[in-house]
Structure 1
Amino acid sequence: MSEDRSLLSDARLRIARRDVASLSREKTIVLALLIQLFVAGFSSFLVVGLTSLYDPGSVATSEVEVAITGDARAELVEASREHPETDVVAFADAEQAQRQFDRGEVDALLRADYQEREESDGRAIGVTATIPEGSIRSTLIVVQIRQLLGTLERQERLDRSFYLDEPPVPQPPEIGASPYFGFTYTVLIPLLLFLPPFISGSVAVDTITEEIERGTLELLRVAPVSLLDIVEGKALGMTVIAPAQALLWIGLLSANGIAVSNVVPIVLFVTAISVIVVAIGLVLGVTMGRRRPAQLLYSVLTLVIFGGAVVLPEHPATTMAKLAVDSPTTLTYAHVGLMAAVAVGGYLVVRRYVRTVEPETL
């Protein structure tokens, strides 16, 4: 009996090694791995450019010339003093300001007018912004104009607070957080560490459906290897890839000066997610037996499950970011434990399901 189990155990390992080795022939998978490798290996260089898309205001350092007109232009000029990168010019003549904008002598045109408020006796300030379209610089102009208008709103709230019966809620102090820090730990690291599990699940769908469609599954079962051993071997091969990639990406990020804390819980979290999605992929592959419908259903289900994770007390991406930045809470560790428990439960469900379909001809 022990010899039989040893044989079957070796068969699982051989199936896992074969599936992992076959990945080198999958061009799509190799390309995805190379893209992740490039992002992780050159993260400190790429993060500057990527952050400009994530937060354009982080690179909006060039000076912007703005023409201001309207009855409330004095308030806008006052607000612009907090933004030295925004050079404002006030015009009493709106047509003159429009001509300068049309000739490209100014980057933007703001018209600020007082507007009567029907619900109260006071007046509000309405601002109409005209921005040139069709260039990257337009995005930077929009960012700086938005900051200028935010300052105007804050000043108006403070100036009119004296007319309130109760003092307004004080604003929280400004924190000089770096956008690079936020982008790295809330976008880049979760992206790099979540992609491997989902790729593993997709590959698991391909490996089992290809065996069924080509008829090689029956040859494996004659070995003698049961369907459960085949599924477990494929699950093993696809599951270990994700944490292995996660460790590699973490090492490359550290080499680029991006420290990642709590490596063990992170790897455990990635492994648990990998087990869950690989289990989903294998069940769909065994049930449907055809690659295209199984892949389509796998993609839809994983998107629905990942999107539905917002109902959890803590989203998986938040858990990953808090672990990486070394600010985990009790809830964070509980979430890791929950994923591990779900992974174990999913594995047991897959084993039980495969045992029920094993006698059938696929």
Structure 2
Amino acid sequence: MEKIHQATTAPITIMEVCGTHTMSIFRHGIKNILPEAITLLSGPGCPVCVTPQGEIDAVMELAARDEVILTTFGDLLRVPGRHGSLYDMRAKGADIRMVYSPMDAVAMAKANPDREVVFTGIGFETTAPTTALALLDAKKKCIKNFSLFSQHKLTPPALSAVLQGAGKRIDALLLPGHVSVIIGEEGFQNVFQDHPMPSAVTGFEPVDILGAILSIMKMKASKKTTLTNLYGRAVQPEGNPRARGIMGTVFEVNDSTWRGIGEIPRSGLAIQGAFAPFDARKKFGVHVEESASPKGCKCGEILTARMTPPECPLFGSLCTPSKPVGPCMVSSEGSCAAAFKYGN
């Protein structure tokens, strides 16, 4: 921290891309001890938060079907939809179950052969390989009553889109450690080439984050623009080729819509034709309609670093963790949830 203060000679705005970084920064009070010249802004690093409202509503339509057991990670349960949340639907009798792994959903389908078990696959490159493994397992075991509603997304295209719209407001990047485990620092090379700025892949402990900020400040002082990996204990330059190979077996890259950004070319993962029987969108004829975000919700602006949570007029008053208006106040990786819980 002393070295950071010594190296800080001019204002700088750093965007942490990962929601887990956001939570750690708030939890450990890092913003409070940094020099005033350093501004940290959150990026599109919360998977549930960047899922557009139309897809949230489509998931709820699936959950309303009598023959469906909808399985999901816990973050999605309380995200508000057009007619309440999945948590509200479960209270009214819908069969919605929280799981800790997509493999749990496959096991549930095997145990309930008379029901259709749907898993909502929300996440970035970090979770997509395990979802792909679940589909491979279901196909191998001929479990025909299991399907996936894929909402998986790819981080680099979204980061490029945010930086394109941000102009010169972002000076440096804290890059996500978990995503980099899969795609490596090399996975961000195209982003870095288009938007050269001090950038550091780092872990999630306070010393990891502070070390990355110090590295960025040294780069800025020496007028260097370098993409560096400070998370070598987990991230290899090339990432994890085997995990990406598993993803490539099951998924194909497609255009995808992101909350607050819109459609980004080649930023999503759709289920390949060989696995079409396990595609919930096709099996149930799901049509995702455009849906407006909740009135007054500024989640889109927060995800694209155009606003901080306290600047939202609903924050802490009409929008709280016990009564959220948007997903950024619900998810464990949401900027608003982190700011509300640890901001004071």
Tell me the TM-score normalized by structure 2.
Answer: 0.21
Larger radius of gyration: 1
Higher strand share: 2
Greater fraction helix: 1
Scaled by the length of structure 1, what TM-score is found?
A: 0.20
